[in-house]
């Protein structure tokens, strides 16, 4: 099991990333993936620009811990997390998570687990520009609930 | 006998500083004691770090509870609940 | 909500498909996707080649019904299912499912639902070549159980 | 008064035919009655369509239970449990 974590400004190409992960591993039968994108509306306001701040060092550490927890819980091969930082605009990709496994149940669960934990534990913060000015996005209690259910 | 304080996102903006060296005194041996000392600065510090406000503390890049010890050389980060992804 | 279903021999490019689905819809905040691939081992035997047969007409109908059910159950935008037929070999892609939505929970659930129902309802059959000869793959009770849980 | 029979995958191979026109008689008005008539052919038909064997029947491309009616002009497909994806 290999865990790949990357945090950078540059965009990513999910198709190419999946190809690279699968390369030469014919035991992989399932690839679950997720992309999060910037929406043009949030909390009822238009979003023009978004700025993503993070805590360098801790971010990578935390994402690696989350991936390691996923591979302790499920029989999976590889995990990949890419999270962008800096200035983003609507339609831009923010984050992707990819998990490979032999059968689909494991990669689906692990992919969703990693996203739920990333949302509540990885030190990223969003600031949006709206017609009313700039604002830091508030944490959603729905995200806490999503992460909480994996503890059962 | 100093620690590195790191403030991030909204707290960095409110405090007007992203990183500072902080001199530990003998009575500041836990996160809770450190927070009490910072609150005494008043202004945004007193307001944002008041009890009941939502913020997190990481010592050496691990999120900790407020009874966690603080030692010279530690990096102590204070930040709002995360909103990435 | 638009449902795209394609059944053909040609390979597909997940990255390009996702780009096309997202094109010009800045309300999409989440893209969940899945790829199923040919493994080189099944039931303890090496698999050299795989042949995928289907029931033309009914296949497309059934996949469209499954996607429509998913969009009745969850608030999602688009669904895409591509399933290959004919001769495939280990490492080849077999199937992909993509679902777009505003928030991640809906696209994750709908994507997994579509795969679980596809596995038990879409008229595809796999024949494998192994060192012991050719054999039709048996349906897995695990797949029935996976589909069954959505009825609760 | 005929229907189109369609056999798929392993059943197509076992029966040696993928598609045939089948003449309905007055007593064949349900899937169950059709299956009984096919079993009377003996051989692979009797064996594969025996009660308790795992196969599915679709009438006009919808999977149905065996009490489903069969009418002239219908397309009736018989196939093993599916294994795609």
pTM of the model: 0.95
Among partner residues C18, C41, C108, which is closest to A14 by beta-carbon distance?
Answer: C18
Q: From residue C23, how far is each of A127, B42, C19, C28, C77 by CA, in Å?
A: 24, 50, 6, 10, 12
Interface of A with B (CB under 8 A): 36, 52-55, 57-58, 61-62, 83, 94-95, 115, 118-127, 136-140
Q: How confident is the model at residue B77 (pLDDT cuts 50, 70, 90)?
A: very high
Average pLDDT over residues A53-59: 98
Is C102 in contact with A27 (Cβ distance < 8 A)? no
> C28: which chain A residues are within 8 Å (Cβ-Cβ)?
37, 39
Give the model confidence (pLDDT) of D14-55 as tens digits. 999 999 999 999 999 999 999 999 999 999 999 999 999 999
Is C55 in contact with D77 (Cβ distance < 8 A)? yes
| Two structure tokens written together for D22 | 């089948």
> Chains D vs C: touching, with 3+ CB pairs under 8 Å?
yes
Is A124 in contact with B84 (Cβ distance < 8 A)? yes
Is B83 in contact with A138 (Cβ distance < 8 A)? yes
Residue of C nearest to D10 (CA): C136
Q: Residue A116 belongs to what H/E stretch?
A: helix A104-121
Is B61 in contact with A121 (Cβ distance < 8 A)? no
Q: Is D15 left (phi over 0), alpha (psi -120 to 50) or beta?
A: alpha
Report d(CA C59, CA C50) in Å as an integer. 19
> D77: which chain C residues are within 8 Å (Cβ-Cβ)?
55, 58, 123
* Site of tokens 């795989």: C50
Provide CATH code, domain D2-79. 3.10.20.30
Is C39 in contact with A27 (Cβ distance < 8 A)? yes
Give residue A43's pLDDT: 85
Give the model confidence (pLDDT) of A75-108 as tens digits. 999 999 999 999 999 999 999 999 999 999 999 9
Name residues of chain C where pLDDT drops below 50: none
Give residue A141's pLDDT: 86
Is A138 in contact with B10 (Cβ distance < 8 A)? no
Among partner residues D54, D58, D84, which is closest to C52 by beta-carbon distance?
Answer: D84
A86 - beta bridge partners?
A52
Interface of D with C (CB under 8 A): 6, 8-10, 12, 54, 58, 61, 63, 77, 79-85
CB A142 within 8 A of CB A66: no
Q: How confident is the model at residue B76 (pLDDT cuts 50, 70, 90)?
A: very high
Shortest Cα distance, chain B CAs vs residue A147, angstroms: 13
Report d(CA C117, CA C115) in Å as an integer. 6
Is B9 in contact with A122 (Cβ distance < 8 A)? no
Give the model confidence (pLDDT) of B3-61 as tens digits. 999 999 999 999 999 999 999 999 999 999 999 999 999 999 999 999 999 999 999 99
Is B83 in contact with A125 (Cβ distance < 8 A)? yes
Domain locations in chain D as residue ranges: 2-79
- Residue D24, CA atoms < 13 Å, CB-side half-sphere: 21
Mutation site for D-interface testing, chosen from C37, C83, C112, C123 by largest number of D Cβ within 10 Å: C123
In 3D space, the residue among C14, C38, C51, C36 whose CA is nearest the CA of residue A26 turns out to be C38
Shortest Cα distance, chain A CAs vs residue B53, angstroms: 13
> Chains D vs B: touching, with 3+ CB pairs under 8 Å?
no
> D85: which chain C residues are within 8 Å (Cβ-Cβ)?
36, 83, 94-95, 115, 118-119, 122, 124
Q: What are phi and psi of C7, to 5 degrees?
A: -125, 115
Give residue C150's pLDDT: 93
CB A80 within 8 A of CB A17: yes
Shortest Cα distance, chain B CAs vs residue A25, angstroms: 28
Q: How confident is the model at residue A51 (pLDDT cuts 50, 70, 90)?
A: very high
Distance linking the first and last C-alpha atoms of chain A: 25
Residue of A nearest to C146 (CA): A105
Among partner residues A57, A119, A136, which is closest to B84 by beta-carbon distance?
Answer: A119
Give residue A140's pLDDT: 87
Q: From residue D15, how far is each of A68, B14, C55 by CA, in Å?
A: 51, 78, 17
Q: How confident is the model at residue A62 (pLDDT cuts 50, 70, 90)?
A: very high
Report d(CA C136, CA A114) in Å as an integer. 36
Give residue A70's pLDDT: 98
The answer on pLDDT for D67 being more than 80 is yes
> A139: which chain B residues are within 8 Å (Cβ-Cβ)?
54, 80-83
Give residue C24's pLDDT: 85
In 3D space, the residue among C28, A62, A70 whose CA is nearest the CA of residue B84 turns out to be A62
> C104: which chain A residues are within 8 Å (Cβ-Cβ)?
34, 36, 112, 115
CB C52 within 8 A of CB C85: yes
């Amino acid at each position: 099991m290999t865990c790949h974590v990357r945090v950078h400004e540059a965009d990513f190409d999910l198709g190419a990333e999946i190809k690279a992960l699968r390369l030469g591993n014919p035991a992989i039968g399932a690839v679950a993936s997720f992309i999060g994108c910037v929406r043009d509306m949030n909390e009822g306001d238009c979003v023009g620009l978004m700025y993503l701040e993070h805590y360098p060092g801790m971010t990578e550490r935390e994402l690696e811990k989350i991936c390691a927890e996923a591979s302790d819980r499920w029989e999976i091969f590889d995990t990949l997390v890419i999270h962008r930082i800096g200035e983003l605009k609507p339609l831009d990709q923010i984050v992707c998570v990819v998990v490979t496994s032999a059968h689909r149940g494991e990669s689906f669960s692990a992919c969703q687990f990693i996203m739920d934990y990333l949302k509540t534990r990885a030190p990223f913060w969003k600031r949006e520009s709206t017609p009313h000015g700039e604002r830091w996005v508030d944490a959603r209690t729905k995200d806490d609930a999503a992460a909480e259910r994996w503890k059962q | 006998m100093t620690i590195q304080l790191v403030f991030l996102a909204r707290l960095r903006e409110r405090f007007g500083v992203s990183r500072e060296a902080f001199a530990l005194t003998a009575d500041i041996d836990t996160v809770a004691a450190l927070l009490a000392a910072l609150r005494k600065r008043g202004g945004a510090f007193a307001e944002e770090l008041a009890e009941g406000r939502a913020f997190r503390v990481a010592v050496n890049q691990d999120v900790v509870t407020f009874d966690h010890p603080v030692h010279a050389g530690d990096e102590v980060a204070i930040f709002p609940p995360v909103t990435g992804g």
